[in-house]
Structure 1
Amino acid sequence: MEELLPEGKNFRLVEESELPEIIDFLGKFLPDSLKFHQTLKTFVNDRVWDFHFYVTKNWPEQAVILHFPGMTRTPNNKLYESFCVFCPCDHLDDLTLLESEDVLIDWTQPIYLNFTHSRIMVRIEEFYAKIGTIEKLYGDVYGLVQPHLEEMESELVIADQAEMCQLRKEHAQIIHDLYPANQMECIEIFEKLIEKLPCFGIFSAQGDLAAWMVQSYYGAMFSMQTRPEYRRKGYGIILAKHLTKLVTQRGYLPYVVIRPENDASKSLYGKLGFKKHFETIRAILRPYEMAGEPQGGGGGGGAEDEPALGQEQPLIGTLNGDVEIKGDQ
């Protein structure tokens, strides 16, 4: 087991007692801080996945916060191989502390970044250009910062005598098998999500799992999928509406990450009042001397935005974070 470091050159490990105050601080920067804010909140409330949070040694004067790992699984399964970062967009000069962090982050090795605000990524690119190359996958964060629950109260009419139920652990295998990016995600993630968070499926009259959607360990709504033979029955918007209501009632801010080209998902969430807040980027940072080498291993980390079954679009290597949802209307 890799040793947990109490501090780096510019960052220190956060004590659990500090997390609620940090959540409140990040709340001042919504919606830009949405993904990191909700990750912290899910960690404190539900402890679905293990993260280690670091802040600058003079926090909050320089408000840069990191969490390791940045994904559930990386090629070498190293704790500090991946991370996620947030910094207020009006204090991006503070990211120089990230550039000079050579204890927690080994910039001579490939680094895997979870979905990160595009303005933060621009600053990272500025200093990383002299180190290596960056492969990027774009997503748009759509959220419902002021949910109107009364709009979610209308009766949900499910076609063909199907019914909606909370998923059970035994459903994790089929979800993982049909998950378009299952090479990046371990089945244990789905088992933990089903155990601790709202994860719902629509079951046919014959008892088959026809469609499903879950809340993730970073607060987002993701992994919406409908089996091909059950599409065009409105199951997608029923699940999205139901999960939006539950996520809100549990004190979370509903959000998803959608690929820019995924018009079906934009249409679906647009009907529920979701608005685009910012562009986010998932990336692999690879030093120049390694840029031509083949990647190994699998990643992990659940994607909010995933292609329809049987229509998977290639992802960048072993990136993880949030996969693409194909909206089912």
Structure 2
Amino acid sequence: MTRSLSRSELKQLVDSLVLDWNDMASHSKAMLYCTAQHYLDGKVPWDMTFEVDRWPDYTAVLWTPDKKDFAVPAFVEDDVFLYWTSEDGLRQLLTLTSVDWTRQLLLPAFPLSGLSVLKDHLTKQGVPCPSETDIYPCDTAYFLHETCPSPETVGRTDAKVTIAPLKPDHSQLVNRTWRHGGTPESEEQIHYQISTFPSACVYDQDGNPVSWILFNYYGSQGLGYTLPEHRGKGYFQLASKYLISICLQKGFLPFLFIEDYNEPSRTIHRKLGYSWVEAGRCAYTFLNRNKSS
């Protein structure tokens, strides 16, 4: 049987996680660390379940919002995350977990190295495997340097702009411009991210946001965007350096996911000093997508 961790056991798990900046396939470990730490710190205001294949010598961890908690917002209720160091542990966890695999689910940044194990499990459960249109492959990009220009230094690079966190009032703007946004649920998600976690925004001389990037509750950077009329001025790089600096100050490993189609993002992040390798390949993977929750 799998084991659901108590709060004290979850603290033990967090303390056992050593984030190796030389491990270019460690994004799921970083996501586990950040989610669990934010949960323990009260920055995740809904109940979550953390299950392990065994305890204390676990080899696989699954974590997901607790569906029994009516406070779980719609924008995370389908999220299921997995981290493993052993395929046998992953198989056991998939088989014995409390997750209902027949309902609509999203596996954010699921490592592609485990896709065959996942599909084998779903087939045995009589659940359709995700089609190619339900799998959005990404590279995990890491900022592996120990230093970055300080926010103060970055903020003085252009007298016409200022750099500071986004404000919750900007949620509507970010929601309108987000490729996957435009709904009340996505605006609620953005408002939560801006209100709770670090963010970076370049403001013009009139105080209007022109370029920004947010921070997800599971530790990755995301929702980066520059208004079309302000592109080509280096503003996104300024916002990124600001957020990198904040992450480094807080002891976070700066990382993000770049979808395969997004070549402009690859170019910008390569210039910023991000790196990625084949071992870090992952995918936002939807299960039972056309089925109601």
| TM-score, length-scaled by structure 1 | 0.73
Report the equivalent of 2:199: 199
Query: In structure 2, which of residues 84, 90, 96 is the aligned counterpart of residue 101 of structure 1?
Result: 96
Over aligned residue pairs, what C-alpha RMSD do you find? 2.9
Deviations 1:87-115 (A, max 9, x none): 11xx111122234226x122333433222
| 1:197–1:215 contact (8 Å) kept in structure 2 | yes
Contact 1:220/1:254 (<8 A) preserved? yes
- Helix, strand or coil: the match of 1:147? coil
| Other structure's SS at 1:245 match | helix
Asked if structure 1 preserves the Cα contact closer than 8 Å seen for 2:139 and 2:258, the reply is yes
1:319 aligns with none
In the alignment, is the contact (CA less than 8 A) between 1:82 and 1:112 conserved in 2?
Answer: yes
* 8 Å Cα contact 1:46/1:196 also seen in 2: no
Q: Which moved more, 1:240-249 or 1:210-219?
A: 210-219
Q: Tell me if structure 2 keeps the 8 A contact 1:14–1:52.
A: no
Question: Is the alpha carbon distance of 1:193 and 1:285 closer, same or farther for their aligned partners in structure 2, counting shifts above 3 Å?
Answer: closer
The residue number in structure 2 matching 1:87 is: 84
- Within 1, Cα distance between the matches of 2:255 and 2:217? 13
CA distance in 2 between counterparts of 1:273 and 1:49 reads 34
Q: Percent identity?
A: 20
The alpha-carbon distance between structure 1 residues 46 and 159, as it changes in their structure 2 partners (threshold 3 A), is farther
Corresponding residue number in structure 2 for 1:15: 6
Q: Which runs of 5+ in 1 are unaligned?
A: 1-9, 298-329
Change over 3 Å in CA distance of 1:43–1:272 after alignment to 2: farther
- How far apart, CA to CA, are the structure 1 residues paired with 2:256 and 2:19? 20
Query: Does 2:206 correspond to 1:210?
Result: no
> What are the equivalent positions in structure 2 for 1:240-251 lying under 5 Å apart?
240-251=240-251
Task: Please state which structure has a larger fraction of its residues in helix.
Answer: 2
**In 2, distance between residues paired with 1:143 and 1:113?**
20
**1:260-291 deviations in whole A, cap 9, x for unaligned?**
232221222222321115011121223xxxx8
Q: In structure 1, what residue type is equivalent to 2:55?
A: W
Contact 1:51 / 1:67 at 8 angstroms: preserved in 2? no
Measure, in 2, the Cα distance between the counterparts of 1:21 and 1:59. 11
SS of residue in 2 equivalent to 1:27: coil
**How far apart, CA to CA, are the structure 2 residues paired with 1:296 and 1:56?**
28
Residue in structure 2 matched with residue 284 of structure 1 by the alignment: 286
The equivalent residue for 2:171 is 172
Q: How many residue pairs get matched? A: 275
1:263 and 2:263 matched: yes
Q: Please give the alpha-carbon distance, in whole angstroms, between the structure 1 residues aligned to 2:218 and 2:65.
A: 12
Could you say which residue in structure 2 is the equivalent of 1:162? 161
TM-aligned CA distance change 1:56 to 1:205, over 3 Å: closer
Quote the residue 2:69 is aligned against: none
